Amino acid sequence: MSKNKEIESVVVRFAGDSGDGIQLMGSQFAVSTALAGRDFATFPDYPAEIRAPTGTLFGVSAYQINLGEGPITTAGDAPDVLVAFNPAALKVSLPLLHPGSLIILNNDGFTARNLAKAGYDTDPRDDDSLANFQVVSADIGRLNLEAVKAYGLSKSEGDQCKNFWTLGLLLWMFNRKLEPVESVLAHKLRNKPVLRDADIAALRAGHAYGETAELSASVRRYHLHSPDWPPGTYRSITGAEALALGVAAAGELADRKVLYASYPITPASPLLHHLARLGELGVATFQAEDEIAAVCAAIGAAYGGMIGVTGSSGPGIALKTEAIGLAVSAELPLVIVNWQRGGPSTGLPTKTEQSDLYQAVYGRNGDTPLPVVAAATTGDCFDMAIEATRIALRHMTPVILLADGYLSNAADPWRLPEFDRYAKITSRDLPDADDGRPAQVHAFDRDPATWGRPWITPGMPGLMHRIGGLEKDIATGHISYDPANHQAMTELRAAKVESVADYIPPQTIELGPDSGDILVLGWGSTYGPIYQAALRTGVSFTQLRYINPLPKNLASLLARFGTVLVPEMNNGQLVTVLRDRLGVDPVSMTKVSGQPFLIRELVERIQALKSEAAA
Amino acid sequence: MSKNKEIESVVVRFAGDSGDGIQLMGSQFAVSTALAGRDFATFPDYPAEIRAPTGTLFGVSAYQINLGEGPITTAGDAPDVLVAFNPAALKVSLPLLHPGSLIILNNDGFTARNLAKAGYDTDPRDDDSLANFQVVSADIGRLNLEAVKAYGLSKSEGDQCKNFWTLGLLLWMFNRKLEPVESVLAHKLRNKPVLRDADIAALRAGHAYGETAELSASVRRYHLHSPDWPPGTYRSITGAEALALGVAAAGELADRKVLYASYPITPASPLLHHLARLGELGVATFQAEDEIAAVCAAIGAAYGGMIGVTGSSGPGIALKTEAIGLAVSAELPLVIVNWQRGGPSTGLPTKTEQSDLYQAVYGRNGDTPLPVVAAATTGDCFDMAIEATRIALRHMTPVILLADGYLSNAADPWRLPEFDRYAKITSRDLPDADDGRPAQVHAFDRDPATWGRPWITPGMPGLMHRIGGLEKDIATGHISYDPANHQAMTELRAAKVESVADYIPPQTIELGPDSGDILVLGWGSTYGPIYQAALRTGVSFTQLRYINPLPKNLASLLARFGTVLVPEMNNGQLVTVLRDRLGVDPVSMTKVSGQPFLIRELVERIQALKSEAAA
Amino acid sequence: MNAVLTPKDFATSQEVRWCPGCGDYAILKAVQKALADVGATPESTAFISGIGCASRFPYYVNSYGFHTIHGRAPALATGLKLANPDLDVWVVTGDGDGLSIGGNHLLHALRRNVDINILLFNNEIYGLTKGQYSPTSRVGTRSPSSPAGSLDTPVSPGQFVLGAGGHFFARAIDTDKAGMSHVLEAVHAHTGTAFVEIFQNCIVYNENVFADFTDRRNAANTQLHLRHGEPMLFGDGKGIRFNPTTYSLDVVDADDDVLVHDETNAVIARLLIDLKMPVALGILFRQPVAGYSARFYAEHPTRFERTKSVADYLAGPNPWVVE
Amino acid sequence: MNAVLTPKDFATSQEVRWCPGCGDYAILKAVQKALADVGATPESTAFISGIGCASRFPYYVNSYGFHTIHGRAPALATGLKLANPDLDVWVVTGDGDGLSIGGNHLLHALRRNVDINILLFNNEIYGLTKGQYSPTSRVGTRSPSSPAGSLDTPVSPGQFVLGAGGHFFARAIDTDKAGMSHVLEAVHAHTGTAFVEIFQNCIVYNENVFADFTDRRNAANTQLHLRHGEPMLFGDGKGIRFNPTTYSLDVVDADDDVLVHDETNAVIARLLIDLKMPVALGILFRQPVAGYSARFYAEHPTRFERTKSVADYLAGPNPWVVE
Ligand SMILES: Cc1ncc(C[n+]2csc(CCOP(=O)(O)OP(=O)(O)O)c2C)c(N)n1
Ligand SMILES: Cc1ncc(C[n+]2csc(CCOP(=O)(O)OP(=O)(O)O)c2C)c(N)n1
Ligand code: SF4
Ligand code: SF4
Ligand SMILES: [Mg+2]
Ligand SMILES: [Mg+2]
């Protein structure tokens, strides 16, 4: 059982080889949890290798889910239940567990070879290394094969079903119906009837195994309350799914088609994959030859009147920076999504990090400011995609939307938004081609409130004009080398980004009093753990979604607290921005391990600050 | 005569069409000035077009030189003498002049067509628009053609000589001997004897024109004192020439060959051109297909044991950032020279700016710190190229050296350094291949003082190892996805850059008392104008050469002044770095016009601060 | 389609900023004339360029124009064409812009067969950056960056285009009005990527580099003007024949059986590209096939029309309701 | 040169991290064997790769190795080769790494003819990023990024290499030991850029995409193994003939006069590249010419040896002295 007092929840971790179907099992368990109306949060944690050699420590693929009454905002610090398919999976996960946790082992995975690969000299099931835990070891492999032998699958094919056998057992432990999972399977495998029936048979066998009393003695079954959520329709959604829907929604709200131009890269690819299936929503995707071509195609599409969106992760964004500068100079709308991952360079592609903030805010040649926003939760990816597009079109500027690897893959329950209530997305009205002014002047006739220019696109009669990356006259839009004009244009570009602050919501406190000793200020995907830590320590908490420009009231909000703690999954990059823009000097808490913050880590740090404050 | 009290100097500006040979005339005048042992500073100011259409305002090419007793550190705010070859040249330059200045006009350039092109309704020589100036108008075109008609050149060829005719006149005004210029010409045109003789004839004719009393009435001749310079051998040098020699010097001091891999771009190309001629100094150049290939080739060369250097300007550096991250991760030495120009995007290619500081300090994905240094003067380009290489090899890291378009083209007198006194450049000692440790461990056995690793290069027996951009184990150098290791490596990379501060000179005051009301803190090519402004206002002045990390004593140095003024040719980028790193909040003075600071502008601002301080 | 437009209607107020005598002037005139001749309209025409002297082109054409960044015009043009397949999209690039930094985007535009017209102004030099050798410069070219002469073997634009799977390759000389308009009209009519190499004289940094075959006085003997279905004749009574033993093209007397130009024949096209003297001009290779941007929409079930609302998608496969 | 080394001497302690059954394993074995066979030494050998499953290669070879960034290996290898022309520099890349993001660097390495050996593992898919279609994927390839099938016409590695001016193009099948060693030894011996397309089976995302010609049971009829100077024979009694009327290759009976493979013939090489069935394997094209890195030094007066000191250069043309 979860050690945490406030919340009735259970943390389950599935771990095995990449080939064991861990991610599928985990996501199916999440679906079942969702349909059972429980709150949850998930954390898929898989290796960089596609199918790392079996039995190796680095090849362990894991899926962690935290479920219960809620509010649940992280996948949990420590598993209460661990399912380990082999010795490597056990060894890698053990340090995470606290004493008393339940460990379910697959005996058939504990071969001499696998034990050796995991570096076990003696079988941990036989020595006392698991003494502090409650261990259930079952011949999952064998039992599964028996369950599916009727279907005439090869040994290896049959073995593939054991994740469903195990899932069946887990569903029994959590008093779940099998139907929902079975119907999902029936649909997914409609073209592979044999495999479908085998998987379902395995699922039922695992469930029966629990049922037939062989376990009920040793294993407690979980009766979790359902959270008291606001009424509405809910679904399970990953950040990538939510952001894809957000991009499509932005197109619908602006009544324009969308071109998402991208080049595959971890962890940005899922967005491309999801958008590739949204053609019916007016979304087209273009897989470019590289990131430079992708951003340029998106700019070309924006020039042509589509909503141009591109996405990548750090290394790919680096390649896009020159072209992003062109979009700033040409005053074209563009949304750039950065799914951050571990850096520098290729770094840790499958691990999460927030270390591209410098790149987003400062990372261009020239004085080239642009708006930067960040999504805080999986569901928030939907809204921030819309916000980013809204800013891009209103101000005619590229906008960087920061997300990260954790958000891309993690799944949470999401209450469907009332989409019909969302405001339309607009840009400056088009000029009258016949009002006598030259088209070149029309094209740069900016709105003094937003500095957005009219979005005139090729094909419009009478408004032909030329744009480019050379400095242009502030009034006529023609090339200009005039010194005073360059000064004026530099100030205009800065003023444009500052003007965004006139349109974004003021920063609000998420939790706790709106003044006091300690405020925890986060940004991006750290929302979940900070929320829990603040809840448990009673300090105030706010999460930044708008990073450049900062909300106008942020300075005064921060001033109401004695200490501001800024936890980041980087080496202190938001702190630089706050020092630069607000002249404040918050306490920086950094974690650059490729792993999300643990609630525990944050709680400890906050407690320490509290005692300092008290002392 | 110069209006400035402190310094006996004269500012001369040549202006005409790109085709008039203005830059050649200017540089020859500079050579003559140098050989006459006068101090000087030059500022070539030419259009982006190769040969802009004749007579147009945007096509005006100008060359300004400030000469005299010195210390002279800028090309001067306002010309005392303007030579204008056509109406456009006059119109563009007029706003710079102060009343009483001497204007020399080429009558033959003042055709109806040219007047129209320059937007003159009436001929400025006839109306009173030049009333406040001393005007000498000569039929330079005609007189020149007469002078060279003996050589049977075509009209247009003959016309090409008029810059030398004019140069001859100027040399007369400044009491210069003709021989030095003539011998330079004789060498330059040794393969074109006819043209050589014609140019020399034109030169003599122009000189004679002044001599033969026709002018001496109206024009005063300048008798400038020579500066009391420290004894030594001097030469005239541009920043590009100095940096090229510095790169070669770094190779010699490290006893390694150099590969300069680059892709042409304004204003970085001159460095490539100069280095392409230094093969005898062990410098090879490689013109790559693009900037990405250039930086990668330089990294490959560094991996192979050469000193790898690449250079570009903002847009090209943007393209290099991904690969620079690889060099950080692989811990390889690399020098990246950024000749900054007007941005954003293509911006103002031929104008100068300092707006790539953000990009240099913060502009990468991931937590990817690297050392950043900047050259302050043309001569300083020599020393900072050596310093950048020294840091790169000592710490095994890429280093960014910031210069700009002004430094690339401007020429100043330079006292030859005593090269034999320069310290050798070294990197960590190589390990003993046979000491039993695996080569992979050898390769990452870092010096705890510099965090530099041994520079093991392919070809060395027994030390074969693998490197790459994935995160690696801090001890073994093998790929590692371990969270704690990533944390440790992130801290190591930060510590490495911080450790550079242990080896760089402390920040010193260039001018004025070392504590007081006002300190002007500059960086890069603003040295010249700030020096003069500080000299004239009596405030203290210091120029930053080491920007990341900052000199250790900088904080305490700044603390000794009431107000710190930071003038920059950008929108306040160094101020961000100072706020971020030192928590100070200096007064920012920005100029983003593509033009260097005028001494006057700085003096006014400093005076204003003084009165505030007084008030 | 508006037949009454004249070349003047495609000129802008902008002062042209090339060097006096630059070959680009002639190209500009030829393109403006061709636009009028084919009945193009300014509003449905867009010129996309990279960076370089050649890439200044869009400023001087009265149409939509985008002077982008170095080497990226084909990628940007691809996005524009996907946004609005009805536009006539022209890409203007140089030998450096297109074949040095921009080579990858040319490759992929060509193999995808995006419906754009690419004009590569080949002057075998980097003009705008003051005369360094380029990827088409001949071995031994002395330039500021190669004072001892360049080492690099040049790339052949034609071989590159065919190697990339291009379906249209043509050549013209900047000042050859007839040749230019013949080629430009074919370009405009072509579906898929049309690529033209224009031999352009940079009088400042590479003067007369093509003079050996562009010189009018000897053009008859140095230029082979190709016409589909017509025999390959040039000079007085000379012709081209395929030699099946050496697999090469021979110059022969017109009466010997001379090759009849089949612009769909890639084998001959590649031999024509390499032909040193005479130099093959006109449409060397043409195989019209449906272009990428056309197929992009045609082959998509809803042609990316918004047939559903996001509201229909929000719930996903497994929603649940909380009362 | 150290003849006693065995393939094992080129293996590292690193655990190989490809999927079980991946074609890369066979390639690794073949390369390690070839290195031993040609007498390479670990210290004078360097493997440079980009990013991708294929690009993990250097970790598994006991030599110097650099796993660089996506698509840039040829550029980095060029710099390395200039720094140390005595090294054997191998570039390992994939169809995405080499022909998608890296196309421009391949183009320029090839046309410069840099002395490096490029092995392109073509599995017609992006493996490492979980199976999106690649520039060599066939039209209609269903993948996560092309659920309705890809539109893009694939690039032909062979045509690209010849179009770029490459002088060596060969092909081999990952699991064909004999074919691999034949090709790899020729690669090692070649001066200039040697390029090999290796058909590599990605069992996870593109299984058996080459099965139609790699399947051993029918190899005799589906594979044409080329040997310079030998007739192009395959299957039982079949051969290849050039048809001078259609300018194409026909499959004919062995007794009809069959083409004798001349690996220096670019015309035939291009036709062989396009030959669908049988698939041409081995060395399709080879024209040894001096490589770039060799010429880089050979053609420089001082070979970049430091024959003077900076001290000699400081004064410049016009120094003056102040006492
Ligand atoms: C990213 C980037 N790199 C380099 C440059 C500098 N640059 C501008 S044009 C050019 C080459 C021009 O040559 P080409 O494409 O042949 O055009 P031309 O001037 O000869 O017409 C270069 C290197 C740039 N503007 N941007
Ligand atoms: C700059 C950059 N863009 C994208 C990626 C993501 N990425 C890694 S490998 C790869 C393609 C791999 O395909 P291929 O080269 O065919 O190698 P394979 O995995 O199939 O062997 C991509 C897109 C990256 N690592 N870096
Ligand atoms: S430099 Fe050459 S290409 Fe450029 S405008 Fe001048 S003549 Fe034309
Ligand atoms: S994904 Fe494909 S290419 Fe990559 S390792 Fe697995 S089988 Fe090999
Ligand atoms: Mg050119
Ligand atoms: Mg592949």
SS (H, E, C) C133-197: CCCCCCCCCCECCECCCCCCCCCCHHHHHHHCCCCEEEEEECCCHHHHHHHHHHHHHCCCCEEEE
Residue A426 has pLDDT above 80, yes or no: yes
Tell me, yes or no, if B459 comes closer than 8 A to chain D by beta carbon: yes
> Could you tell me the pLDDT band of residue A381, with boundaries at 50, 70 and 90?
very high
* pLDDT tops 90 at residue D151: yes
Mean pLDDT over residues B5-24, rounded?
83
User: What is the per-residue pLDDT for B7?
Assistant: 39
User: How does residue A615 score in pLDDT terms, banded at 50, 70 and 90?
Assistant: confident
Please determine, for residue B5, whether its predicted confidence score (pLDDT) is greater than 70: no
Give the pLDDT score at D3: 52
Contacts of D300 in chain B (CB under 8 A): 279, 284
pLDDT higher than 90, residue A402: yes
Partner residue opposite B265 with nearest CB, options C19, C129, C133: C129
Residue B600, pLDDT above cutoff 50: yes
Nearest CB neighbour to A51, from listed D15, D145, D204: D204
Q: Please give the backbone phi and psi of residue C277, each rounded to the nearest 5 degrees, phi first.
A: -150, 120
pLDDT class of A35 with cuts at 50, 70, 90: confident
CB C73 within 8 A of CB C91: yes
Q: What percent of chain C has pLDDT above 90?
A: 93
Residue A146 burial (C-beta neighbours within 10 Å; 0-12, 13-18, 19+): middle
A264 vs D19, D145, D204: nearest CB: D145
Contacts of A289 in chain D (CB under 8 A): 100-101, 103, 135
- Whether the CB-CB separation of B450 and B371 falls below 8 Å is answered with no
Q: Chain B within 8 Å of D52 (Cβ-Cβ)?
A: no
pLDDT band at B53 (very low <50, low <70, confident <90, very high): confident
Interface test with B, best of C13, C14, C16, C19 (most B CBs within 10 A): C19
Residues A87, A89, A93: CA angle, nearest 5 degrees: 120
C252 near C240, Cβ under 8 Å?
yes
pLDDT at D27: 98
What is residue C298's predicted lDDT score, i.e. its pLDDT?
A: 94
CB contacts of C19 in chain B (<8 Å) are 49-51
Residue labelled with tokens 């100077």: D229
Atom 1 in ligand 4: which residue has the minimum CA distance? D127
Q: What confidence score (pLDDT) does residue A149 get?
A: 92
A147/A204 Cα distance (integer angstroms) = 9
Query: How far is it, in rounded angstroms, from Cα A562 to Cα A520?
Result: 11
Partner-chain contact A269 D15, CB within 8 Å: no
State mean pLDDT over C99-124: 98
Query: At B3, is the pLDDT very low, low, confident or very high (cuts 50, 70, 90)?
Result: very low
Task: Report pLDDT for A9.
Answer: 87
| Averaged pLDDT, D59-81 | 98
Query: Above 90 in pLDDT, residue A505?
Result: yes
Higher local confidence (pLDDT), B7 or A409: A409
Relative to beta strand B283-287, strand B398-404 is unpaired
pLDDT tens digits along A348-377: 999 999 999 999 999 999 999 999 999 999
Q: What is the pLDDT of residues C291-320, one digit of tens each?
A: 999 999 999 988 999 999 999 999 998 899
Q: CA D115 to CA D89: how far, in whole Å?
A: 8
Cβ contact, residue pair B319, A322, below 8 Å: yes
Is pLDDT at A71 greater than 90 in this prediction? no
Task: Supply B403's token pair.
Answer: 């210069």
What torsion, rounded to 10 degrees, do the Cα atoms A370, A376, A382, A386 define?
Answer: -20
pLDDT band at B214 (very low <50, low <70, confident <90, very high): low
Surrounding ion ligand 5 within 5 Å at CB are C 94-95, 123
Q: Using a pLDDT cut of 70, give the percent of chain A over it.
A: 98
Q: Which residues pair with D270 in a beta bridge?
A: none
Q: What is the pLDDT of residue D15?
A: 86
Position D122 pLDDT exceeds 50: yes
3 state SS of A139: coil
- Could you tell me the CA-to-CA distances from A469 to A263, A327, A331, A475 in Å, in that order? 24, 8, 10, 16
Among B467, B261, B511, B503, CA closest to B390: B503
Residues 66-95 of C with CB under 8 A from A: 66-69, 72, 75-84, 86-87
CB of C23 closer than 6 angstroms to any ligand 1 atom: no
- Give the residue from chain D lying closest to A266, CA to CA: D129
Residue B152: CB atoms within 10 A of its CB come to: 10
So what's the pLDDT on residue A36? Answer: 87
Q: Distance of CA A361 to CAs A311, A365, A506, A547, B358, Å?
A: 16, 12, 20, 8, 9
Mean residue pLDDT of chain B comes to 94
Closest Cβ opposite residue C64 in set A37, A241, A464? A464
- Residue in chain A closest to C309 (alpha carbons) equals A281
Residues of chain C contacting residue B295, judged by C-beta atoms under 8 Å apart: none
Question: Which 8-state DSSP code applies to residue B96?
Answer: G
Our measurement of the distance from residue D174's CA atom to the centroid of its chain's CA atoms, rounded to an integer in Å, reads: 13
As for ligand 3, residues whose beta carbon falls within 6 Å of it are: B 50-51; C 18-19, 22, 24, 53, 123, 127, 202-205
Closest atom, ligand 1, to C-alpha of B290: 3
On whether any CB of chain A is under 8 Å from the CB of D203, the answer is no
Q: How far is C108 from chain D (nearest CA, A)?
A: 8
Q: How far apart (Å, rounded) are the C-alpha atoms in residues D94 and A78? A: 40
Q: Which residues of B touch C147 (CB under 8 A)?
A: 276-277
Q: Does D147 touch chain A (CB under 8 A)?
A: yes
Q: How far apart are CA B421 and CA B440, in angstroms?
A: 37
Query: Can you read off the two tokens belonging to residue C34?
Result: 């061709």
**pLDDT of amino acid A217:** 65
- Expressed in angstroms and rounded, the spacing between residue B48 Cα and the centre of ligand 1 is 12
Q: How confident is the model at residue D135 (pLDDT cuts 50, 70, 90)?
A: very high
Answer whether C43 sits within 8 Å of A297, measured CB to CB.
Answer: no
Give nearest CA residue, ligand 2 atom 1. A316
8 Å CB contact of A594 and B342: no
In degrees rounded to 5, what are phi and psi of residue C209?
-65, -20
Q: CB D267 to CB C247 under 8 A?
A: yes
Average pLDDT over residues D142-148: 97
Measured from the CB, is residue C128 less than 6 Å from ligand 1? yes
Instruction: Name which of A185, A281, A326, A471 to mutate to probe chain C: the one with the most chain C Cβ atoms within 10 A of its Cβ.
Output: A281
User: Lowest-confidence range among B229-233, B558-562, D281-285?
Assistant: B229-233
% pLDDT > 70, chain B: 98
Contact C126 B264 (CB under 8 A): yes
Q: How far apart are CA D255 and CA D249, in angstroms?
A: 16
Which helix H or strand E contains C105, and what residues bound it? helix C103-112
Residue A402, CA atoms < 13 Å, CB-side half-sphere:
31
What is the average pLDDT across A253-261?
98
Which chain C residues have a beta carbon less than 8 Å from that of D165? 153, 155-156, 159
Answer yes or no: do D153 and C101 touch at CB < 8 A: no
Contact in structure between B282 and B331 (CB atoms under 8 Å)? no
Instruction: Point out which residues pair with C283 in neighbouring strands.
Output: C170
Give A8-20 pLDDT, tens digit per residue. Answer: 789 999 999 988 8
Q: D-contacting residues of C 297-316, CB under 8 Å?
A: 299-301
Return the closest-CA partner of residue B507 out of B558, B539, B553: B553
Q: How would you class B433 by CB atoms within 10 Å of its CB: exposed for 0-12, middle for 13-18, buried for 19 or more?
A: middle
Report which residue type is found at C17. R
- 3-state class (DSSP) for residue B148: helix
The encoded tokens of residue B451 equal: 């965090």
D237: helix, strand or coil? coil
Give the 3-state DSSP-derived string for B459-502, with helices as H, strands as E and coil as C.
CCCCCCCEEECECECCCCCCECCCHHHHHHHHHHHHHHHHHHHH
Q: Across residues B519-529, what is the average pLDDT?
A: 97
Tokens of A246: 């957000």
Tell me how far apart the 2 most distant CA atoms of chain D are, in Å.
Answer: 93
Give the pLDDT score at B49.
84
- The pLDDT tens digits of the residues spanning A547-603 come to 999 999 999 999 999 999 999 999 999 999 999 999 999 999 999 999 999 999 999
- pLDDT, average across residues B202-216: 83
Q: Write out pLDDT tens, residues A98-138.
A: 888 899 999 999 999 999 999 999 999 998 889 888 888 88
Measured between beta carbons, which residues in chain C are less than 8 angstroms from residue D301? 148
Q: Report the half-sphere exposure of D113 (CA within 13 A, side-chain side).
A: 24
- Looking at residue B213, its pLDDT comes to 59
Do D106 and D98 form a contact (C-beta atoms < 8 A)? Answer: yes
Measured CA to CA, the distance from residue C31 to residue C196 in angstroms comes to: 12
* pLDDT of the residue at C323: 85
What is the C-alpha separation between C176 and C196, in angstroms, rounded?
A: 14
Q: pLDDT tens digit string along C257-282?
A: 899 999 999 999 999 999 999 999 99
Residue C81 is predicted with a pLDDT of 98
Answer whether D79 sits within 8 Å of B297, measured CB to CB: yes
Which chain D residue lies closest to C270 (C-alpha atoms)? D267
Structure tokens at A489: 């244009």
**Atom 8 of ligand 3, nearest CA residue:** C22
Is pLDDT at A248 greater than 60 in this prediction? Answer: yes
Please, which residues 67-126 of chain B have a Cβ atom closer than 8 Å to chain D? none
Residues of A whose CB is below 8 A from D67: 346
B-contacting residues in C 1-30 (Cβ below 8 Å) = 15-20
- Mean pLDDT of all residues belonging to chain A: 93
Q: What is the mean pLDDT of residues C3-27?
A: 92
Question: How remote is the CA of residue A156 from the centroid of ligand 6, in Å?
Answer: 26
Beta-carbon separation of C164 and D155 below 8 A: yes
Please name the residues between 238 and 267 in chain B that touch chain D, using a CB distance below 8 Å. 241, 245, 248-249, 251-252, 257, 259, 261
* Contact between residue A101 and residue A134 where contact means Cβ atoms under 8 Å apart: yes
**Residues 6+ positions from D8 with CB-CB distance below 8 Å:** D32
Write out chain B residues lying below 8 Å of A351, CB-based.
481, 483, 486
Residue percentage of chain D with pLDDT more than 90: 93
